[in-house]
Amino acid sequence: MTLDNPPRNKLRLISCLIWVFTLGISDSLPGTLLPRIEAYYNISYSVVSTIWLANALGFIIIAILSHRLEHFLGKRIMIAGGCATSIIMYIFVAPGYKFPMVVVGFFFGGLGLATCLSELNIFLSRFKKSSKYLGFFHGFYGLGACIGPIISTVMIDHGIQWNYVYCILIGLTVVNIFDQWFAFKNADEDLKPFDNPDANEDSTVTTPTSEDDKELGLNNNQEQQNDDSHHHHHHNLLPSSRLSVEVSSILSDGSGTKKLTSDPIEMGIFSQKTMIAHPDLQKIPTHATHTTHNTHAATDSNNIINNVDGGLAPESSESAPLVSESPEKLLGLALRSPITWFISFFVLFYQGGEVSIGGWIVTFLETYRHGDERTTGYVASGFWGGLTIGRIFLTSFLHKNVGAKRGVSILSLCAIASVILAWVVPIIIVEAVFISICGIFIGPIYPLMITVAVRILPRKIQIVSLTIMTAFGSSGGALFPFLVGIISQFAGTYIVFPVFIALFCAMLVLWYLLPNPDRNIIKHFWERVW
């Protein structure tokens, strides 16, 4: 998929950027406004933190229902409806009514945010250069998040009440509703070829499209069971780097797009564990000169591949396209995939750390460093501004020169180091600099993670898995700031630093458990990481 194919993709990309810019402003405001909200309603840290809890509840509901809703409503209504749900939040918050009204508003905000974010992340991951467009997408999020604290700080300095900041978001969201409705017209028909991996034409054999799809149900004992057959057919062994069966099937090119290919299937398409556990994969007959030989080769390979698929594809002796799965079955497959859970908890911890530091740093500086209320809001802008710079300028660079897997590991370690320095150095200006640097390191992690996710998740469950992942991430961005508020009530707001460090360490552990798509053959555990 490219900007010109389907034709409306340019408009869709622009609408995505406008929406995520609005989201960035919305997400960054609570961090700057938190001390003002506490004073306005005369409430404690733990009570004000319930806005994030309500947000998380909205995310979780969407995670449960989104696959059903999209099946009945379609992409266009889902995305525009998500924007319409978000505007309810701003309408509830802007008048400055009683605090329970604000909490209910944040619940609706969670519903709308999770709906749009999951749909748009999936849409952008289908592009040929997905890392580039995801970098722009999340870069515009950072840009909005950088501008949000500046707007709120300036308005408060001029005597404008905190809640009126949300009137700006009402106007922006009205624009989003109309441009998303217009841009995603006929989106279900346009994008269907890029969402359905099973719609192949004249295919000789239906092939799996992701290495981890094949890891479901593998049994290492098959290596011993197939060993004798392996020796009998030694003359049919293929080079260890390629399978020489020619197919015409829709494959993933590793960047989230699809292409028709009749080239030999690259070894990287299959899991390395699969190749070890299934030596039959190395015995598929090579390309023959006679049509009958080709037919037998296709049939044999189809049986082998279906066996490797762990039951995901029905075994058949005939070549036939797979029937599209029901939403319930796809949800079940996604929930049974360990990759779905690793990535979901990774994003849970990532966004939990990101939003916690962005949401509580202003309160920490005013409480522990006695920062000026008129200027501390700009520190939050520095953090989100650094995040923007990182996403726009580092994402593609790291993806090309270091690799997404290594890049995330390096960035996470650097972010942890920056937060430690900001914690231990009691000089507010130095802390502000380190917080901004931390934002630079945090920024590219999310888009790089998306590029890895679309390469290691089975294509048939990508939409469901990425929706679950997005809901987990949004929930983490709401749950952990809430927990920081609860703990801060007793320990103090400095707790945001150890919480961030713990979350990013847990995130790294999960990242190391994921397969490394940049390596065709993995012999040692460390090769999953580096």
Residue 90 within a domain: yes
Which residue would you say has higher pLDDT here, 234 or 371? 371
Contacts of 178 (CB under 8 A, 6+ apart): none
DSSP code of 326? P
Spatial CA neighbour of 371 closest among 482, 477, 493, 498: 493
Q: Is 112 in a helix, a strand, or coil?
A: helix
100 lies in the same domain as 212: no
108-117, 293-302, 384-393: range with lowest mean pLDDT:
293-302
* Token pair of 237 as six digits: 């062994």
State residue 525's pLDDT score: 61
Beta bridge partners of 246: 264
pLDDT of 434-457, one tens digit each? 999 999 999 899 889 988 988 888
* Token pair of 26 as six digits: 């919305």
State the chain's mean pLDDT as an integer. Answer: 75
> Of 278, 293, 323, at which residue does a domain stop?
323
For the stretch 117-154, what's the b/e string if a residue is b when 16 or more beta carbons lie within 10 angstroms of its beta carbon? bbbbbbbbbbbbbbbbbbbbbbbbbbbbbbbbbbbbbe
Beta bridge partners of 264: 246
Element (H, E) at 260: strand 258-261
* Token pair of 362 as six digits: 């202003």
Residue 433 within a domain: yes
pLDDT category at 502 given cuts 50, 70, 90 is very high
81 lies in the same domain as 184: yes
178 lies in the same domain as 155: yes
150 lies in the same domain as 292: no
The domain in which residue 56 lies consists of 9-193+331-528
Beta bridge partners of 258: 252
State residue 522's pLDDT score: 60
State residue 222's pLDDT score: 40
d(CA 31, CA 19): 20
Instruction: Say if residue 526 is exposed, middle or buried (CB neighbours under 10 Å; 0-12, 13-18, 19+).
Output: exposed
pLDDT of 47-82, one tens digit each? 988 998 898 888 888 877 777 777 788 888 889 999
234 lies in the same domain as 263: yes
State residue 527's pLDDT score: 60
pLDDT of 336-367, one tens digit each? 889 999 999 999 999 999 999 988 898 888 88
Beta bridge partners of 259: 251
pTM for this structure?
A: 0.67
* Mean pLDDT, range 230-251, rounded to an integer: 35
Which residue would you say has higher pLDDT here, 286 or 164? 164
Spatial CA neighbour of 354 closest among 478, 454, 469: 478
Q: Is 377 in a helix, a strand, or coil?
A: helix
Distances (CA, A) of 187 to 6, 9, 15, 75, 326: 9, 9, 13, 6, 20
pLDDT category at 330 given cuts 50, 70, 90 is confident
pLDDT of 407-422, one tens digit each? 999 999 999 999 999 9
458 lies in the same domain as 513: yes
State residue 530's pLDDT score: 62
240 lies in the same domain as 380: no
Write the CATH number for 346.
1.20.1250.20
Spatial CA neighbour of 16 closest among 147, 110, 135, 129: 135
State residue 363's pLDDT score: 87
343 lies in the same domain as 471: yes
* Mean pLDDT, range 26-39, rounded to an integer: 88
State residue 195's pLDDT score: 65
Residue 4 within a domain: no
Which residue would you say has higher pLDDT here, 412 or 189? 412
147 lies in the same domain as 292: no
Residue 475 within a domain: yes
d(CA 272, CA 75): 35
Spatial CA neighbour of 449 closest among 358, 359, 517, 520: 517
Domain count along the chain: 2
Contacts of 60 (CB under 8 A, 6+ apart): 471, 475
pLDDT of 129-177, one tens digit each? 777 787 788 778 888 988 998 999 899 888 899 999 999 999 999 999 9
Query: Do 512 and 452 touch, CB atoms closer than 8 A?
Result: no
* Token pair of 466 as six digits: 């990425």
pLDDT category at 187 given cuts 50, 70, 90 is confident
State residue 32's pLDDT score: 84
374 lies in the same domain as 410: yes
* Mean pLDDT, range 94-116, rounded to an integer: 92
378 lies in the same domain as 503: yes
State residue 286's pLDDT score: 37
State residue 521's pLDDT score: 57
pLDDT of 308-317, one tens digit each? 333 333 333 3
Q: Other CB atoms closer than 10 Å to residue 214's CB: what's the count?
A: 26
Q: How far is CA 13 from the centre of its chain?
A: 17
> Of 323, 352, 371, at which residue does a domain stop?
323
119 lies in the same domain as 218: no
Q: Is the pLDDT score of 260 beyond 70?
A: no
Q: Is the pLDDT score of 243 beyond 60?
A: no
* Mean pLDDT, range 88-106, rounded to an integer: 94
Residue 2 within a domain: no
Q: Is the pLDDT score of 397 beyond 50?
A: yes
Residue 139 within a domain: yes
Residue 1 within a domain: no
> Of 268, 291, 323, at which residue does a domain stop?
323
Residue 73 within a domain: yes
Which residue would you say has higher pLDDT here, 474 or 214? 474
C-alpha torsion sign, points 430, 432, 437, 438: positive
d(CA 478, CA 107): 11
* Mean pLDDT, range 34-48, rounded to an integer: 89
